[in-house]
Every structure is written in C-alpha cells, then in structure tokens.
Structure 1
Amino acid sequence: MHGYSQLRLGRQSIDNQVYLLTFTTHMRVKHFQKWENAKCLSQCIESETILKQSKALCWVVMPDHVHILMQLGNSDTISNYIRRLKAGAKRQLLINDKLWAKGFHDRAIRKESELLPAARYIVANPLRAGLVKSVKDYPFWNSVWV
C-alpha cells in the first residue's frame, strides 16, 4: 500500500479532537501565489458553511499547500470537512484544471501542550519558505491565539 492509501490507514474522526491538516495543490502548482486566489481560499477556510460546527484554530495558505489546525465539530469527519473545503475553493476560484492533489495528511493533537507549537509551526511556514522576513508581512494566515 502506497501514497494516498497509506495516509488513510488508521484515520479516525473524533468529535472535538484537534487535528493538524495539510493538503497540496495538484502537481504542486502555485495557484495561491496569486493574491486573489489566496484571499479566496482564506475566506473559504473561515466560512461557516464549510466549517459547520468545526473551528479553524490556526491556518496558513502557502503558494502550493495549506496547513490548518482545526477542532472537529460534532458528527463531522475530517474527510467531509476537507471535501467541503476543497470543493468550495474550487467552485469559488473557477479553476477548470485539477486544483487539488488527492488526499491530505492529518495528525491528531493529543496533548494541550502540543497546540501552541503546532500553531507556531503553521504561522512560521512563510518564514521558513523565504516568502517574508516577518509573519506580520504575510497576509494569508490566522490564529485564535493572536
């Protein structure tokens, strides 16, 4: 078993559990290098229609991938949330080509002490990628801790 199938092994969706989610664009095309596209995806991430009862605690939109620290709502699944987000963004962006790579990576945050380090990891992505010298200069992120 390889690739996408490997990611699904042992995947569980637990109500109110916090997950670190990562997913990429198809072929790592930098669709979100365009300001309009990144802004649109940012709005989708925070959309109540997409979130339903889930909460986006921290997130960043990178040129070719997304990281989200989210708390799963009652009676939802990680897969359904990601499906709503990917479909909603594709619909809003009016991209005819394949936008998203298949699948996503998830990691359950099991201890409260892991929350802030995970959020810092997410917010620091643009710095590590050399896109900005300060996170204050990167507009496509948000965190409940700020």
Structure 2
Amino acid sequence: MPSIRLARGRRSETDRVYSITTVVRDREPIFRDAALAAIVIDELQQLSAHGHVQHFAWVLMPEHLHWLFALRRGELGYCVQLLKGRCARAINISRCGSGSVWQPGYFDHALRSDEAVRIHARYLIANPLRAGLVDEIGDYPYQWCAWDIDAL
C-alpha cells in the first residue's frame, strides 16, 4: 500500500498504466543473488500469466524494483501487495529466514499517454547503466522491456 501522502487523490484504475518503485528493507542489496532475483522475476511473470497485469518494462536493481505495467484486474494496492507478499514468502524460505523483505509501501505514478509509457520504459531500462552496473543499456540480466531497446 502506498503511503497516505502518496495515496492522496489517487485511485486505482483498471487498464491504467502505472510505474511502481518498491524498495528492499534497509536497502539491503539482496538481488545481487541470482536465485533471489529469479524469485521476483518468476512472481512478476505469474502476475502477468494470471491476468493481473500487462508488463511494459521492469528492472530489478540490487535493492529495489522498478516496474511499468497496465493494471488488468483488481486494485493497484492488492496487485503490489500480492507481488511483495509472494516474493517475501519465497525469499524467506530460500534464505531460511523470516520477517519483512520489503520496506512498507511503494511509490506509484500513473502514466497518461502511450508516448509517456515508452519514454518511461527507456528511463527504467537505463537505470543499471546510470548506476554503473553495466556498460551498455540492455546488458543487465534482471530487466525486461516489451520493446526493442533501440526502438525506444
């Protein structure tokens, strides 16, 4: 659920495109571990397979997730909660741990035009380059985009 401050004046709308950023608790860079990154990627794919979302782009950075999608079913808060909850359970099982994996809440932004979606997708996909994790856009292993990066 977003913070009260961020949620003011916002509604969840089916077929609206959203950009979500959610952060790992204490900004621990747990997604440097390929097995933990694979858990999040699998859960993102499950949300799409079950008709909750249509992905446009996502980037799983070492300590946070940027996710661009159209909400196809349900409420935005429920969808993000579903992702974070399923990931947390699987990550805790994998690490033989318990407790919170993610910081509470998330930042959301509703996009208004097709052009804005493509611009935002390019911005997300370039995050690993700006962070110094790769030398070329598209080389980061924990990202996906619906469009050819050169076409963005």
TM-score (norm 1): 0.90
**What do the CA deviations read for 1:88-142 (whole angstroms, capped 9, x no partner)?**
1112212413211010111111011101110001101111111111133211011
**What do the CA deviations read for 1:40-80 (whole angstroms, capped 9, x no partner)?**
11111111478533212110100111011110013x11100
- Secondary structure, aligned partner of 1:118: helix
Alignment of 1:1-146 (within 5 A): 4-48=3-47, 52-74=51-73, 76-94=74-92, 95-146=97-148
Provide the rounded CA distance (Å) in 2 between the counterparts of 1:48 and 1:121: 23
- The verdict on how the C-alpha distance between 1:113 and 1:49 changes in structure 2, with shifts beyond 3 A counting, is closer
Provide the rounded CA distance (Å) in 1 between the counterparts of 2:25 and 2:50: 23
Greater alpha carbon shift after TM alignment, 43-52 vs 108-117 = 43-52
Q: Percent identity?
A: 29
- Secondary structure, aligned partner of 1:135: coil
Aligned partner letter, 1:88 = R
Aligned partner letter, 1:78 = L
Aligned partner letter, 2:118 = L
Q: Let me know the Cα RMSD of the aligned residues.
A: 1.8
Structure 2 unaligned residues grouped into runs of 5+: none
Deviation at 1:11, TM superposition (A): 2.0
**What do the CA deviations read for 1:17-49 (whole angstroms, capped 9, x no partner)?**
001111101111111111111121111111147
Provide the rounded CA distance (Å) in 1 between the counterparts of 2:50 and 2:22: 16
